[in-house]
Amino acid sequence: MTDVQKNQLKASLVDRGFTETQIDNSIISSTGTNNTINVSVPVYAKQFIQNVLITELSAVVKISPWLGFISISSGIEFLGKCIDNTNPNDWNAKSVSSANFNDAIKNLNSFSKYRPLLTRPNFNLYSGFRCGLVHACAPNDCISLSHGSDELGNLVEQSGIINFNADELCLDFKSACEEVINMNFPEPNKMNVAKIFINFKVI
């Protein structure tokens, strides 16, 4: 690839909104046909949190609170994975989903109002909320879901149906995301390496 082509490619990536760090760490290869170039741009965890879990998910909740619940229930586990000190370099550690989910609730201040649910008798927040939504698109039968201002969350009672409000939970989740974004993760740590890659072709 010539210097002119490299500069054109870099300008194209800048126009697409990628940062200097992402561009510098992109994987670039030529297909050899039609002057097409394959580009794999790294996405770091904090960028993913900002772009997907905050910006895109906030828009989803307004359109479909139900899909918002499903995504947030999984996103809580992801935030717990981000702050997991037991596996600081392993995104794919096995059998830690429940621990990651619960650790996010325990350790992120934005989730403080949900902490009593972790010790509620005969109730498992991870299983009833996260697993119900992620695996079957519905929580278990002791949880109800709502949105708007007509029925806000009731999280402090130690018995009866627990109601989660999509708008309220989305705001708390956004704040928790910002907490993680503002954390420092000393090297070596998985938060400082690419989590995923965006692949596309440039002609």
Rounded CA separation 97/80 (Å):
9
- In degrees rounded to 5, what are phi and psi of residue 154? -125, 100
**pLDDT over threshold 70, residue 33:** no
Largest CA distance in the chain: 68
Q: How confident is the model at residue 7 (pLDDT cuts 50, 70, 90)?
A: confident
| Residue entry with tokens 């947030």 | 72
Percent of the residues in the chain that have a pLDDT greater than 90, as a whole number: 57
User: In the numeric block, which tokens belong to residue 129?
Assistant: 């909320």
Percent of the residues in the chain that have a pLDDT greater than 70, as a whole number: 92
Query: What's the pLDDT score for residue 17?
Result: 78
Q: Could you read off the pLDDT of 116-145 as tens digits, one per residue?
A: 999 988 889 999 999 999 999 999 878 989
Which ranges in the chain belong to alpha helices (H)? 3-15, 20-24, 45-48, 57-63, 65-82, 97-107, 125, 132-136, 166-181
Q: Could you read off the pLDDT of 66-105 as tens digits, one per residue?
A: 999 999 999 999 999 999 999 999 999 999 999 999 999 9
DSSP codes of every residue in 113-167: GGGGGGG-TT--HIIIIIIHHHHHSS--TTEEEE-SSSS--B-S-SSS-EEEEHH
Decide: 170 and 72 in contact? Cβ < 8 Å. Answer: yes
What angle is formed at CA 10 by the lines to CA 7 and CA 12, rounded to 5 degrees? 110
Decide: 39 and 202 in contact? Cβ < 8 Å. Answer: yes
Look up residue 43 and give its DSSP letter: E
Helix 166-181 × helix 65-82 angle, to 10°: 30
The highest-confidence range among 22-31, 32-41, 90-99, 190-199, by mean pLDDT, is 90-99
- Domain coordinates in residue numbering, the chain: 3-44, 46-191
Mean pLDDT for the chain overall: 88
- Listed range (53-57, 71-75, 107-111, 150-154) with the worst mean pLDDT: 150-154
Q: Which residue did the predictor score with more confidence, 191 or 35?
A: 191
Query: What's the pLDDT score for residue 141?
Result: 78
| Residue entry with tokens 């938060």 | 191
